[in-house]
Structure 1
Amino acid sequence: MNAPLKPPVIAEILADACVSISNLKANPAAVIAEAQIRQVAILNRNRPVAYVISPGVWEHICDLFADHQLLREAEAALESDEEGVEVSLDDLL
């Protein structure tokens, strides 16, 4: 009986540039400099093992996560049976 064929493993790379771990070890400053311009995937045996991103991109990701958390809290509050507190716009300003 023949063994079933296994499809090749394909890894999606979510970056604009790639570098091997060997090249990262040889010149980490160049990889960090490139990450200021675009996302860099670190590859080990042609598979992504890490990503290097700029501080600005990281801050944007954190902001998106915080906004998502606030949205979930607001949705949960709206779905709860608790009575809301009525306020005017003048009270908020």
Structure 2
Amino acid sequence: MAHAVHATTVASISDLKKNPMGTVAAGEGFPVAILNRNEPAFYCIPAKAYEELLERLEDLELNAIADAREGQAIHKVSLDEL
């Protein structure tokens, strides 16, 4: 059965066990597909890339909220009213 691999760098679980930081570094800042018996088991992603991914997801969620609220009535209030 064929499996899509969504990374340009792949490594085996054995490689990851032998040298975890080297495996992460091999991806040069991008995810590394970790294979188990030649099938993708999971993706090893550097902390910076993961943080950027979460920020993008948050931006998408906020944009969806803003889009859903577009056209709603605007109620002006002053700080004293809060």
Asked whether the two chains share a fold, i.e. TM above 0.5, the reply is yes
1:21-71 C-alpha deviation (Å, 9 max, x unpaired): 112112212112223433210000111111112222112211110111011
Equivalent residues in 2 for 1:29-40, closer than 5 Å = 29-40=21-32
In the alignment, the residues of structure 1 paired with residue 28 and residue 46 of structure 2 have an alpha-carbon distance, to the nearest angstrom, of 5
RMSD over aligned CA atoms reads 2.0
Identity %: 32
- Are the counterparts in 1 of residues 7 and 33 from structure 2 also a CA contact under 8 Å? yes
TM-score (norm 2): 0.78
Q: 2:70 aligns to what SS in structure 1?
A: helix
Give, in angstroms, the shift of residue 78 of structure 1. 1.7
Q: Which residue, 6, 9, 12 being the options, matches 1:20?
A: 12
In the alignment, the residues of structure 1 paired with residue 46 and residue 28 of structure 2 have an alpha-carbon distance, to the nearest angstrom, of 5
Read off the aligned partner of 1:23 and give its amino acid letter.
D
Runs of 4 or more consecutive aligned structure 1 residues displaced over 6 Å after TM superposition: none
Whether 2:75 is the aligned partner of 1:85: answer yes
**Which structure would you say has the larger Rg?**
1
- Are the counterparts in 2 of residues 36 and 53 from structure 1 also a CA contact under 8 Å? no
